[in-house]
Amino acid sequence: MKKDFISLADLAPAEIQGLLDEAVALKAEWQRGGNKPLLGGKALGMIFQKPSLRTRVSFEMGMHHLGGSAICLSPDEIGLGKRESVADVARVLSRYVDGIMARVFAHSLILELARHSAVPVINGLSDYNHPCQGVADLLTIYEKLGSLKGVTLAYVGDANNVLTSLLFGGSKLGMRVVAATPPDYAPSPEVLEPARRFAAESGGAVEVTADPHAAVRGADVIYTDTWTSMGQEAEREQRLQVFPPYQVNARLVSEAKPEAIVMHCLPAHRGEEITDEVMDGPHSAVFDQAENRMHAQKAVLASLMR
């Protein structure tokens, strides 16, 4: 039966841990001189509605490391759902490639691609969630702290697609995930309800607060992201009035554990959600996290296309 990678909510805890273990092994193998050609002769079709640095390069290099190839398809080349129906794009690409990765605005497009594709579909980002980033983030925490169960992650800022995947993945693996957001920008009940259910099953916890200082107190990880995501540009000025108390700066970091790490999925708006002092400072794991997109995605690709 065809498997897709749509949301961390769809995976059992053992499956997420299996991806992390494989990513660790593939990264170590790559550092020793290169990966085995697990996907030799395989091709990944990559659909982009949104601009990309990390997603495109990490998937393209990931396929290259595993002996396969990747084809990048820009909005002008496809016009997903405009020039051609989503269903027809999925049916045609399925005849050419062994897997499809899509980075889109609306999550419904990912679901429709998966419904009509005969090959695995990977959610490279949607307005709902970002599971590829989630696996890379969990991998980074696992590497830095040696464990996930019992780790406290404080997310500070906007309850966006990245937070959704952190809530799902962290709660499945027994983490305590605390989201500090302005009241009008908090996670939705549709996200919190399953995350809290997963946490109850794993021994983790999911908490929401409007106080960033309370959230980071005793935290092992502080995580932030841009206050205005792609597609929200019209709200930028309003958001710039609301979010400054949620900036991750040296004072906020000092309230976490002394050995806490700071994460950001990038691109960063330096001076807004995070200061240069923190992003370039000793607590920052930001660029190790960016590299781990490639290693985490190799694990996802191998699990689906091998």
Residue numbers annotated as active site: 103, 130, 133, 225, 265, 293
Beta strands in 23-96 (DSSP E): 43-48, 69-73
The structure tokens listed for 62 are: 């990931």
Mutual orientation of helices 161-172 and 131-145 as an angle, nearest 10°? 50
- Measured CA to CA, the distance from residue 98 to residue 38 in angstroms comes to 13
Rg of the chain's alpha carbons, rounded to an integer?
A: 19
H or E element: which one contains 153?
strand 152-156
Q: d(Cα 255, Cα 139) in Å, to the nearest integer?
A: 24
Is residue 160 a contact partner of residue 224, using CB atoms and an 8 Å limit? no
Cα–Cα–Cα angle for 279, 162, 86, rounded to 5 degrees? 135
**Cα distance between residue 100 and residue 254, in whole Å:** 43
Handedness of CA 254, 291, 29, 135 (dihedral sign): positive
| Gap between the Cα atoms of 124 and 135, Å rounded | 12
Rounded to whole angstroms, how far apart are CA atoms 30 and 249? 34
* Longest CA span, the chain: 54
